[in-house]
Amino acid sequence: MSDSDADSNDFLEMRFRLLKVLSIALGILLLASPVAALSDDDDDADDADDDDDEFEDLGEDVGTVSAWLLGLTLAYFGWKRVLPTIRKHLKQTEQKDRLKSLNTLNKKVLPIHTLLGVAALVTGIIHGLMMDEDALILWIAVALMGVLSISGGLMRWKWPPREVKKGARLLHMQRLLSAAVVILLLVGHEMV
């Protein structure tokens, strides 16, 4: 193995370690947000209005976590758009080790995308249930997130028949569906 191949593998390994550390740090920050909201001490904590405000503040924090999770989930879309270009470049320059490392990394990114998507859906539902406002447009966005999560899960599981997987792939890969989720969430939150 040449020095340049060893350097590129070291570089990819270093980037992967950095990505892990950043992901853990982001997770801790996101999880600390609701905890910080709960730790606020008020002198009038016995008042029912303050309890409702704290509950709603916690709901807003859960919504912030959900928004970050959704954003990270949708970042996979950008990754999949640049991946073919990177692969093509690596094939043309005959960097087989880097291509192999890239394919390994891509296989590790997909489960993270799935986990983030489900977490965004669950935290979004919790956020919606914790808030006082009832906006149908927001629940439609959550339902579309559910459709995306279910169709993504059907693509990953081994048991569905080929036709089901094909239909799930067509549904999950619709950019319009993801765009509709984001637009409905933005419009719905402006309305409430």
Indicate the pLDDT class of residue 25, thresholds 50, 70 and 90.
low
Indicate the pLDDT class of residue 2, thresholds 50, 70 and 90.
low
pLDDT of 165 higher than 80: yes
Q: Tell me: the pLDDT tens digits for 90-145?
A: 899 988 899 999 999 999 999 999 999 999 999 999 999 998 778 899 999 999 99
The tokens 């758009």 sit on which residue? 81
What is the pTM (predicted TM-score) of this model?
A: 0.71
Non-local (6+) Cβ contacts of 41 within 8 A are none
pLDDT at 20: 73
Compute CA distances 177 → 74, 85, 147, whole Å: 12, 25, 9
The domain limits of the chain are: 3-41+48-191
Q: What is the mean pLDDT of the chain?
A: 83
